[in-house]
Amino acid sequence: MSGSVRVVMTAPAKVNLYLGVGAVRADGYHDVDTVLHEIDLSDTVTLTPARGVSLDADVALGILPEENLAYRAAVALAERLGRSPDVHISLEKRIPAGAGLGGASSDAAAVLAGLPALWQTEVATDVLTEIAAGLGADVPFFLVGGTALYTGRGDVLEHSVEAPSLDIVVVNVGAPVPTARAYAEFDRLGSLAAPGPVRVLEACGSGSAIAVAEALFNNMTDAAIAIVPRIADALEWCRGRADVAGCAVSGSGSAVFAICGTRAAALEVASAASDAGFWARATRSSSVGVRRVSERNGS
């Protein structure tokens, strides 16, 4: 389609500074309190005009395109607007899949935020947020980004949180943890009760990265390790590094993240983790959510 607009979006990852999972609710979901923190590890989502909707990715994701959350986001927005979902979605993946880093949710948010420009239409923010919530608990967060406390089933925004900039190393063991299986394992184990997010929130408010590192909490950790035992190895490895102030599993796993005191320390830890056989990246805090990095005419 000569002369048509192409929209390119950045879709960031997240880590959970706090994740407290509670009892199963009447609707079958669990009560969840979580403090989500955006990092600058990101996918690139490119939207181009097409007839109908299609999707490709530069890595094998193990699911059909129509099962992908980004694909479903395009269909959901088109249905809401009463139009055909005319878009080709191309995913350049840097966020590991099945790692608890929110990659699929962020890709979906990028599609929701980018399609109005591609389709040359305006969509109210509350409409995008409503559609996002219907796709998954983390999707609304990525429309805004930063750091925020969510409750409910992890999808109800309580408030944004002021947090210090963190130098973070993401360490992944290479085996995904399916979310549904993690929650089933959590129920089977009768895992650790959550203390509430107050300590993490106070640490964020202090402006101290070290205080945040010392306050990290995730009571899904045992469930994640039961499914992918090597997560325990990654945690032990991180805890053994002098430059790591604190570490935790992100979401339901399989990624572990470590907070370091400086960018130089994070780079050193990431390099050492790679040498130890893990997938690892040094990253840092971000606060912009999904964003458009270019919108230009195709040739």
Residues with catalytic function: 14, 138
How many CA within 13 A on the CB side of residue 51?
1
Q: Which two tokens stand for residue 267?
A: 């780079």
Q: What is the dihedral of CA 159, 213, 110, 121, to 10 degrees?
A: 30
Length of the chain: 299
Contact partners, residue 280, CB within 8 Å, separation at least 6: 169, 170, 171, 172, 269, 270, 271, 273, 274
Backbone angles phi and psi of 7, in degrees to 5: -110, 125
Closest among 44, 21, 47 to 32, alpha carbons compared: 21
